[in-house]
Structure 1
């Protein structure tokens, strides 16, 4: 009887408490992934989250940049100057990535995989070592780009053998869009999906908007928080996520194709993307050219379809577009941001 009373009391407390938010975590795409579902039906939530994580794992394995995958098979063929037949999915990814790379003046370019490898970032562990200077000079002379690829149906050819694809700045965003579609197909309309700082929101958290934090690039905790409407996505690129230090200098994984070197003028850049087809992909891919652009980041907002952005410069100055500033809640004690149009 005492056990029964305790169980009934626990049930009453649960009924009086907040509705459940179900969550699952995993490590995919080289980062922590979190899926939150606001749904009273625990069985439906569990099935939907499992479907999402399974798709994440498939995308990660299929398009891995340095472990054997469909992407490495294509890169090997390109290096040998051979045409290569790819899946319809990969062909569509290439065409899609070509378009967004062009919109960002190719400051983000998935065709620079060899450069990423030269800097040691195609590895699970980074060694504090600079690339060979002659190899860098050769890469600069070749100047390979995803624009050098030609897609004819499922057949891919390249004008340059130096092109090697790395979808590290694109695939997480694609995964967000896949997650949103899978969740809705499973009957889940209220969820939040976070892939290492790339986030998409569905619906609400039982009537309250989902609130997310923007990581401070040099201090523990958040720089600011933001509520997301249904279908909105944010993405952050930062020099604090993948980097190595050598002789007191930080070398991050975000490379400028023009100089073939890591960016040093920016600590972090966050973009907000309005609800639209491919919002997740755009939140991932658009933050990279804006990060690389430095002080010229504002001119790329419209071409990339970005609703607003926040930049933390190398000296710690915070710049934020007026549209985004109106929605941000900055942490107390921080210097006032510069509001720009």
Structure 2
């Protein structure tokens, strides 16, 4: 005897509710590792556990490889290239570093030389080539002048297919102002290729995200350059908040992480290629862009450009969303950044600067 239709509908509804209740809630999968001199956190949302673990393991392995390959001072591909660049004659470039050099060459031109990865010797002169131990006094003016007179540039390197030659023995590559950006970009590209729609890769506050974090966007804070961060009250050192949209990279360059003090003055690691000294008109620059490497390099170039010159350099580099904080604590915003960022704890109104 068949059951009444109403009974069948009720039973079907009951099992539908039961199955829905048995389904697990979307999960967050996260891991943190030390690479590129900082803590890198990989976060995936709403991904099946086995798939998430495999993807995270692959990204972590790739990040470790890139860190070793692009390290300018260790005995890896970039370190070996730096040795060869100091000699005469041609040599074969390593395929693990050549794409990064070519991308850097274009960005260096767009930045009018403010982003200059050929200044590895200057970085070493200041002691900032070491990850944990810096110098405790600046180099002499004569040492700086001698190096700047040699004018090392990426354009000194000639590339013919895989053959490389260099006209300037003062060139030593240090990709510290682009490596994290390229690594984060490649990590996100890999995750998307595996069908992962919601993820963030955060390298010490420099990050890229895709999709959303559940029913909300990926929401981040931008550190105040002159407030100490407390793990118990991290919100106290945040000067701005924003929601990261799909396929966006957010990178910040500041004078507060790698520095030493001498004679009552702060000497940080963001060196102006024009003077050989740390750029002294800016305390922090945050850039949003769809390409991680561009965002990374642009944050450095705009920091050096300072409050007067940054709009033109941003336009040259194709960057529309910028926040610059000058040494007086004044916040400068591009119009596109002003539309979306939430500022807090400001002593003066922000300055909106249109791009040329």
TM-score greater than 0.5 by the shorter chain: yes
Deviation string, structure 1 residues 281-302 (Cα, Å, up to 9, x no partner): 1111111111100121011122
Q: Compute the displacement of 1:18 (Å).
A: 6.5
Instruction: Measure the CA separation in 1 of the matches of 2:248 and 2:142.
Output: 44
Instruction: Measure the CA separation in 1 of the matches of 2:165 and 2:192.
Output: 37
Q: Compute the displacement of 1:182 (Å).
A: 1.4
Question: Does 2:302 correspond to 1:284?
Answer: no
Does structure 2 conserve the Cα–Cα contact (< 8 Å) formed by 1:149 and 1:157? Answer: yes
Does structure 2 conserve the Cα–Cα contact (< 8 Å) formed by 1:201 and 1:230? Answer: yes
Secondary structure, counterpart of 1:147 in structure 2: helix
Question: Does 2:233 correspond to 1:233?
Answer: no
Secondary structure, counterpart of 1:22 in structure 2: strand
Does structure 2 conserve the Cα–Cα contact (< 8 Å) formed by 1:95 and 1:151? Answer: no
Q: What TM-score comes out, normalization by structure 1 length?
A: 0.91
Question: Does 2:182 correspond to 1:182?
Answer: no
Question: Does 2:200 correspond to 1:200?
Answer: no
Instruction: Measure the CA separation in 2 of the matches of 1:314 and 1:305.
Output: 25
Aligned position for 2:32? 25
Instruction: Measure the CA separation in 2 of the matches of 1:175 and 1:260.
Output: 27
Q: Compute the displacement of 1:89 (Å).
A: 3.4
- Structure 2 unmatched runs, 5+: 1-20, 230-236
Q: Compute the displacement of 1:108 (Å).
A: 0.7
Secondary structure, counterpart of 1:127 in structure 2: coil
The 5-angstrom pairing of residues 316-331 of structure 1 reads 316-331=329-344
Question: What is the CA RMSD across the aligned residues, in angstroms?
Answer: 1.7
Instruction: Measure the CA separation in 2 of the matches of 1:135 and 1:281.
Output: 31
Equivalent residues, number: 324
Instruction: Measure the CA separation in 2 of the matches of 1:40 and 1:114.
Output: 45
Instruction: Measure the CA separation in 2 of the matches of 1:84 and 1:166.
Output: 19
Aligned position for 1:135? 143
- Structure 1 unmatched runs, 5+: 1-13
Q: What TM-score comes out, normalization by structure 2 length?
A: 0.87
Aligned position for 1:306? 319
When Rg is computed on C-alpha atoms for both structures, the one with the higher figure is 2
